[in-house]
Structure 1
Amino acid sequence: MKCKAYLVEDSSTIRSNLMETLHELAGVEVVGTAETEHEAKRWLAGNGEGWDLAIVDLFLREGSGLNILQALQARRRPGQRIVVLSNHSSKDVRWRCQQLGADGVFDKSTEIDELVDFCAGLQSA
């Protein structure tokens, strides 16, 4: 069964490249995208059964990925995963994301392979 992912990323270039990479290398089907906190929270709340993985950037065109993590803390189903993909992945940021329920934090510049491996692992789980 394909992993259904929802991608929250405000850069169209990164969004497009990531969708292609995750599909080709990890078999992930991106079922929706958002560029803002509000769009993401609305879609995720209204499609609770429609996703297995949310990939969230921290700094968005409007709002913050941290607020999305916080909103999903008590709302996600067992088995749903949330990861952060950001250029801002210091030790403190990673700790805060994990406190808010992130299953992983990946740096856009250096940890794309690790994100792909994480996603591929969801396929076999």
Structure 2
Amino acid sequence: MGSLTVFLVEDNPLIRAHLIPALQDLAGAQVLAIAESEGEAVGWLAGHKGGWDLAVVDLFLKEGTGLGVVNWTFGRLARQKVAVLTNYATDETRILCRRAGADAIFDKSYELDQFFDYCQRLSTPDAGTGVDPRAP
């Protein structure tokens, strides 16, 4: 099985500089592309419909919103997951993200361990069933 392929939507270069190697080291993930705005993200997604396993999306971007990106992923393949990684994971934000189609929401301030655990689970077939959670 290949590594988990990630599309990262994050406009903060410092966060990207730490997140990308952590995804590689902790989840064996390969970051395919990065977008800093909603328009960039939607453009990349439109050209790579089935070409990613996990989209990691921040809510506040240079232009547009991460919520718009999450909305745009509606109708993606069942194996493709969307995780919101934000500093503003309030109860209301979590509800809005779920309604928009996010599979998981994590707070950057205190839920990074849970985020990396989630990524690791996606990158590893279920040991009990032998089923790849990314399979279509």
- TM-score, normalised with respect to structure 2: 0.89
- Structure 1 residue identity aligned to 2:7: Y
Q: How do residues 46-61 of structure 1 correspond to structure 2 at under 5 angstroms?
A: 46-61=47-62
Higher-Rg member (1/2): 2
1:73: how far off? 1.1
* Partner of residue 25, structure 2: 24
Match of 2:130 in 1: none
The 3-state SS of whatever aligns with 2:49 is coil
Q: Report which of the two has the higher share of helix.
A: 1
Q: Which has the higher contact order (CA 8 A, sep 6+)?
A: 1
The residue correspondences of 1:106-121 to structure 2 (distance < 5 A) are 106-121=106-121
Is 1:68 the equivalent of 2:69?
yes
Q: Which residue of 1 aligns with 2:99?
A: 99
Aligned residues, how many? 124
**Share of identical aligned residues, percent?**
44
The CA RMSD measured in Å over matched residues stands at 0.7
- Secondary structure at 2:60 match in 1: coil
One-letter amino acid of the structure 2 residue matched with residue 3 of structure 1: L
Question: How far does the alpha carbon of each residue in 1:52-96 deviate from its partner, in whole angstroms, 9 at most, with x for none?
Answer: 00000000010000111111112x112000010000100000011
Residue segments in structure 2 that go unaligned for 5+ positions in a row: 126-136
Partner of 1:4 in structure 2? 5
Question: How far off is 1:49 after superposition?
Answer: 2.1
Gaps of 5+ in 1: none
Letter in 2 for 1:62: E
Runs of 4+ in 1 over 4 A off after TM superposition: none
